[in-house]
Structure 1
Amino acid sequence: MTQTILITGTSSGFGEATARLFAARGWNVIATMRNPEASNALQLGDNVLVTRLDVEDLDTIEAAISEGIARFGRIDALVNNAGYGLFAVFEGASREAVKRQFDVNVFGVMDVTRAILPHFRSNRKGTIINISSGAGVVGFPMASLYSASKFAVEGFTEALGYELSGLGITVKLVEPGGAPSTGFMARSGSEGAPIPVATDYYPFLEHIGKLYGGMAGGTDPDAVDKVASAIFEAATDCSNRLRYIPTNDIRPLMDARRGATEEQYQDLVQGIFLPQA
């Protein structure tokens, strides 16, 4: 039987590339986005259903799942990809801005997952793949809110996997590094109102701006395709593997976070992120 996957956030970037890959590999794809009328990129054929799903709107979540099941008979896998990054000095971010970051990146993931679990339980089968980030493992300055949201996704996914392990449902994480070609950073900068910055932060911001500008040149140019391939592997390798790191740009920091002592790790990241005297 042809398998079916539901993917959130498919209007561009990782989501669009993943939808294209699964469709090319013969899967049925439920490609969801907030505004499908504005995108014709995924009109690929009869095995692709493009429909609306806004992770902040519970009615659209339920409707997209029901429409997908009505079209293809069942859903076998879910990719929680929709998200955005709020990059700013924390002090300047309003409570509303913080709340929206978590509404999309955390509560949206939870709401879509909760909505599909009865279907997966009834089938005694399903795979949930949550898209995290290197910033969900390493705290990045100017990304404290984004990092916090992805740290939450990491903990949620790991714990949820234990709850669902006896029900035939597997839960996995894909942890990309930098991916400038997705348009994610440009899109993130347009989300919400500008965030004010106190002048006391200016010296640090100047340092971080130069640092991140240099890092951008070292990001993986093939990140989008590598992430889509990692998602496909996670959906099809029939393993209980939890984490997939598709790009090498973030790997040294993640290896240090997970493999070094706390003192070694702090020496490393402070040497990178803090201005040196």
Structure 2
Amino acid sequence: MNKTILITGTSSGIGKATAIYFQQKGWNVIATMRSPEKDTELKELENVLLEKLDVLDLESINQAIQNGIEKFGKIDALVNNAGYGAYGPLESFPRENIIKQFNTNVIGLMDVTKAIIPHFRANKDGVIVNISSIGGQMTFALGSLYHGTKFAVEGISESLHYEMKEIGVKVKIVEPGMIATDFGGRSFDFQAGEIADYQPIIGALMKQWQNPDNSSSAASLVADVIYTAVSDDSEQLRYRAGDDANFLLDSRKKMTDNEFFSMMNNQMGK
């Protein structure tokens, strides 16, 4: 009997690549997104159930899980991938954008996880993979909102792994580096604002992000790491994805705060 995975945020990027990867590995896939009617690729794949799921809508979360169980009998793994990045000076962000960032990346992730735990507990089996980022262990300028959510995901996941172990469920964290997705497009909320004091650091960061030397990894690389995290049956908690993830996270651990900040400022030309 094929195993089944539920993945949030599969309309593009890491989520879509992961849905395709697991389907190719012989898994049943519950591919969820806010607007499944817009999908043109996943719905054509065998053993893929396309479901509407908005992490801000509890009813859609519960319905997608129920439909997945009815279709495939059991869900073996969950990948919490849905999310987006909010960047810019904190002073420039409207409060509603701040709330939306945390509701989507943190509260939504917890709501999906909480909804599926009873199913996992009944089976005394399951794997929860939370997609964090190198930004859950270190920060870039202007990312107080995004990094705040990813640091939260790291803490939630690390603590959750203790209680989930009591019911036979594993918790994993995947930390991608820079990935070639549409994160800088529709999955990106940038608020530059008009306050002159912040414009130099905004310009420096934009220049750094547009540097052609900043090579991004393919989303399929992250999908491969997610597959390893789900399948390796180990107690390992964190998994990195991308050469830049290894370099930056190793540097963050080895350096003092001032040394790391100096390196990051140098990279931005500041």
Q: TM over 0.5: same fold? A: yes
Find the counterpart in structure 2 of residue 244 from structure 1. Answer: 239
Q: In structure 2, do the counterparts of structure 1 residues 201 and 195 end up closer, same or farther at CA, with 3 Å as the change threshold?
A: closer
In structure 1, distance between residues paired with 2:182 and 2:207? 20
Q: Is the 8 A contact 1:177 1:219 kept in 2?
A: no
Q: Which amino acid in the other structure matches residue 184 of structure 1?
A: F
Q: 1:206 aligns with which of 194, 197, 203?
A: 203
Q: Is the 8 A contact 1:141 1:273 kept in 2?
A: no
Q: Secondary structure at the match of 1:56?
A: coil
Q: Which amino acid in the other structure matches residue 148 of structure 2?
A: A
Find the counterpart in structure 1 of residue 182 from structure 2. Answer: 183
Find the counterpart in structure 2 of residue 218 from structure 1. Answer: 214
Once the 2 structures are TM-superposed, how far is the Cα of residue 195 of structure 1 from its aligned partner?
Answer: 5.4
In structure 2, distance between residues paired with 1:91 and 1:273? 21
Find the counterpart in structure 2 of residue 68 from structure 1. Answer: 68
In structure 2, distance between residues paired with 1:201 and 1:268? 20
Gaps of 5+ in 1: none
Aligned residues: 270
Q: Is the 8 A contact 2:6 2:31 kept in 1?
A: yes
Once the 2 structures are TM-superposed, how far is the Cα of residue 206 of structure 1 from its aligned partner?
Answer: 2.0
In structure 2, distance between residues paired with 1:208 and 1:25? 39
In structure 1, distance between residues paired with 2:218 and 2:33? 21
In structure 2, distance between residues paired with 1:100 and 1:233? 31
Q: Which amino acid in the other structure matches residue 14 of structure 1?
A: I
Q: 1:260 aligns with which of 234, 248, 255?
A: 255
Q: Is the 8 A contact 1:19 1:31 kept in 2?
A: yes
Once the 2 structures are TM-superposed, how far is the Cα of residue 71 of structure 1 from its aligned partner?
Answer: 0.2
Q: Is the 8 A contact 1:89 1:197 kept in 2?
A: no
Once the 2 structures are TM-superposed, how far is the Cα of residue 241 of structure 1 from its aligned partner?
Answer: 0.7
Q: Is the 8 A contact 2:130 2:173 kept in 1?
A: yes
In structure 2, distance between residues paired with 1:236 and 1:80? 16
Q: What is the TM-score when the length of structure 1 is the normalising length?
A: 0.92
Once the 2 structures are TM-superposed, how far is the Cα of residue 197 of structure 1 from its aligned partner?
Answer: 3.0
Find the counterpart in structure 2 of residue 173 from structure 1. Answer: 173
Find the counterpart in structure 1 of residue 136 from structure 2. Answer: 136
Percent identity (aligned): 46
Find the counterpart in structure 1 of residue 4 from structure 2. Answer: 4
Superposed CA RMSD in Å reads: 1.7
| Residues 7-18 of structure 1: pairs in structure 2 closer than 5 A | 7-18=7-18
Q: What is the TM-score when the length of structure 2 is the normalising length?
A: 0.95
Gaps of 5+ in 2: none
Once the 2 structures are TM-superposed, how far is the Cα of residue 50 of structure 1 from its aligned partner?
Answer: 0.3
